[in-house]
Structure 1
Amino acid sequence: MTRYLIKRLVGLVVVIFLVLTIAFIIVRLAPGDPAALMLGPDATTEDVAELRTRLGLDRPIYVQYLTFVANAAQGDLGDSLFFNAPVLEVLAARAEPTIFLALFSLIFALVIAAPIGIYAAYRHGSATDQGAISTAMLAASVPSFLTGLIFQRYLATELGWFPASGYGGPDASFLERMGHLILPSIVLGITNSALILRFTRASMLDILGEDYVRTARAKGMTERRVVLRHALKNAGIPIITVVGLTFALLVSGAVVTERVFNLPGLGNLVVNAVLRRDYPIIQGTLIVVAALYVLVNLLTDLLYLVVDKRVKL
């Protein structure tokens, strides 16, 4: 177990190192002078020269790279040009809406997809099964921004069941802020439930056809115990895998939904950083999201040990 963890942590370091290298190269490959691009067309020559010195762009490329990697290893991803603050502080200030949005969306997707996927597999070939598959395909096909706009208009504006947009005022309580995330979480949950539903159904279908499931039924066990205790437990690994990847995708891919509902999360921050040419923020977000992906994969693999003891072998 310890050896496995060490190998995975080494792999995590390697991936982060590669991401750091890619983030460094992206800025340097941008057409024109990066400092001039960041400041815009109205900047003077003196302003561009000052920013180049501040960012270290006037030094040799290998020195810039080594400095960038060394600073990142110490948790220093640079300073935001727009906020004039460390990148990690800016990202931390915007992380709460995105993390909770992803978490609530995942919970909502699981509440929808897992029971339907299990029941569809149990009733394989029935009208219920075909209806579940068709509904999942429809949910995956409709863009999240369209679903968000429809829900925003009817459930928020006309019926007034949810806040239409925003994240509450500066003095809003934690519960009030979480209330603003309910509707966007439903939107993202519906969109991402399709993948979880299909994986749950496919995994359950494989297990329900195994010999030990037929043996359990032959011994007189109830269908509920056969499906939930024997089949679902052994079908858990593929489901855990897709759930972990879905959470990582929700964190990094909630840009459109955050824009529709005007949430001050990481997605909105990155879009504004691109428009403002705030490259340190873009670099920092790329690195943080990549690290999140690797950590989620590691936690998913460790969770396999809890679900299925045979993984230790």
Structure 2
Amino acid sequence: MARYILQRFLGMLAVMFIVVTVVFVIVRIAPGDPAAVMLGPDATPEDVATLRGQLGLDRPLAVQYAVFLGQVVRGDLGRSIFLGIPAITAVAERAEPTFLLTVLSILVACAIALPVSILAACRRGSLFDQVATTMAMLAASIPSFWLGLVLMQIFAVKFGVFPVSGYGGPDASFLTRLQHLVLPALSLGVVSSAIILRFTRASMLDVLGEDYIRTARSKGMSEFRIVMRHALKNALIPIITVVGLTFALLISGAVVTETVFGLPGVGSLVVSAVLRRDYAVIQAALLVVAGLYVLINFAIDMLYLAVDPRVRY
């Protein structure tokens, strides 16, 4: 088991090294001088030269790369020239809405997908199964921002049950902030539930066709116990995988939804950073999101050990 964990950990470090290298290269190969782009067309050559020196862009490329690696190791991802604060601080200040939105969205997706897919697999070919499969295909084809606008029109504008947009004032309570996240979480969760439903149903169907399931039924074991104790337990590997990957995708895929609902999250920060050519913030956001991807995949690998002891071999 220790060897398995070590292999996954080393793989995580290798992936992060590649990501850091790619982020470094993307900024350097972007069209134009980054310093000139960040300062705008009205900047003087002296201003551009000064900013190039501050950013270290006047050094040889190999030296820039070595300095960049050292900064990443220390957690120094640059400073935003527009916000006047470290880029990692800017990302951290916007992390709460994005994190809470992602957690609520994946809870909504699992609450919809898991019971429906398990019941659909147990009633394969029935009307319920066909309706569930059709609804999953429909949900997968609906853009989350469109669904968000529809939910906003119904529950916020027409009935006034939830806030239209925003995240509450600076002194807003946690419950108030959750109220602002209900509609965006529903819009993301409903769309994300489609892929979880389809994978879970397929995994359950594979397991329910095994010989040991038929043996358990022949011994008179209740169907509920067969499904929950034997079938679901052995189908958890692909289910954990798809839930984990969906969670990772939601972290980076909430940009449009945050913009629609006016949430001050990482997505809106990245959009404004791209428009202002704030490369430090863009780099920090890319590295943070990539790091979360890698950590989530590492956590999924560790969950495999708890679900299926055969993985450690």
TM-score w.r.t. the length of structure 1 is 0.98
Alpha-carbon distance in structure 2 between the residues aligned to 1:210 and 1:78: 55
Structure 1 partner of 2:62? 62
Give unpaired runs (5+ residues) of structure 1. none
Structure 2 partner of 1:100? 100
The amino acid across from 1:160 in the alignment is: G
The amino acid across from 1:201 in the alignment is: R
What SS does the corresponding residue of 2:166 show, helix, strand or coil? coil
Instruction: Give the CA deviation at 1:6.
Output: 1.9
Structure 2 partner of 1:167? 167
The count of corresponding residues between Structure 1 and Structure 2 is: 313
Query: Kindly, what percent of the aligned residue pairs are identical?
Result: 62
What SS does the corresponding residue of 1:181 show, helix, strand or coil? helix
Alpha-carbon distance in structure 2 between the residues aligned to 1:142 and 1:81: 38
Give per-residue Cα distances to partners, 1:149-197, cap 9 Å, x unaligned: 1101111111111111000001111221122111110110001000000
Instruction: Give the CA deviation at 1:4.
Output: 2.0
Alpha-carbon distance in structure 2 between the residues aligned to 1:6 and 1:205: 34
Q: Which runs of 4+ in 1 moved over 4 A?
A: none
Structure 2 partner of 1:110? 110
1:1-313 pair list within 5 angstroms: 1-313=1-313
TM-score w.r.t. the length of structure 2 is 0.98
Instruction: Give the CA deviation at 1:3.
Output: 2.1
Aligned partners of 2:258 and 2:264 also within 8 Å: yes
Give per-residue Cα distances to partners, 1:75-120, cap 9 Å, x unaligned: 1111112111111111111100111100000000000000010011
Give per-residue Cα distances to partners, 1:35-74, cap 9 Å, x unaligned: 0111111212221111111101111111111101111111
Alpha-carbon distance in structure 2 between the residues aligned to 1:218 and 1:205: 18
Alpha-carbon distance in structure 2 between the residues aligned to 1:288 and 1:170: 25
Give per-residue Cα distances to partners, 1:21-47, cap 9 Å, x unaligned: 111111111111110111111212221
The amino acid across from 1:38 in the alignment is: M
What SS does the corresponding residue of 1:20 show, helix, strand or coil? helix
Instruction: Give the CA deviation at 1:128.
Output: 1.1
Alpha-carbon distance in structure 2 between the residues aligned to 1:128 and 1:60: 64
Alpha-carbon distance in structure 1 between the residues aligned to 2:230 and 2:255: 39
Aligned partners of 2:4 and 2:312 also within 8 Å: no
Alpha-carbon distance in structure 1 between the residues aligned to 2:206 and 2:5: 30
Alpha-carbon distance in structure 2 between the residues aligned to 1:35 and 1:47: 9
Instruction: Give the CA deviation at 1:309.
Output: 2.4
The amino acid across from 1:5 in the alignment is: I
The amino acid across from 2:243 in the alignment is: V
Aligned partners of 2:145 and 2:257 also within 8 Å: yes
Alpha-carbon distance in structure 1 between the residues aligned to 2:245 and 2:265: 20
Alpha-carbon distance in structure 2 between the residues aligned to 1:9 and 1:301: 10
Instruction: Give the CA deviation at 1:311.
Output: 2.2
The amino acid across from 1:265 in the alignment is: G
Give per-residue Cα distances to partners, 1:267-305, cap 9 Å, x unaligned: 111011000100111111111111111110110111112
Alpha-carbon distance in structure 2 between the residues aligned to 1:47 and 1:217: 78
- Superposed CA RMSD in Å reads 0.9
Alpha-carbon distance in structure 2 between the residues aligned to 1:284 and 1:65: 16
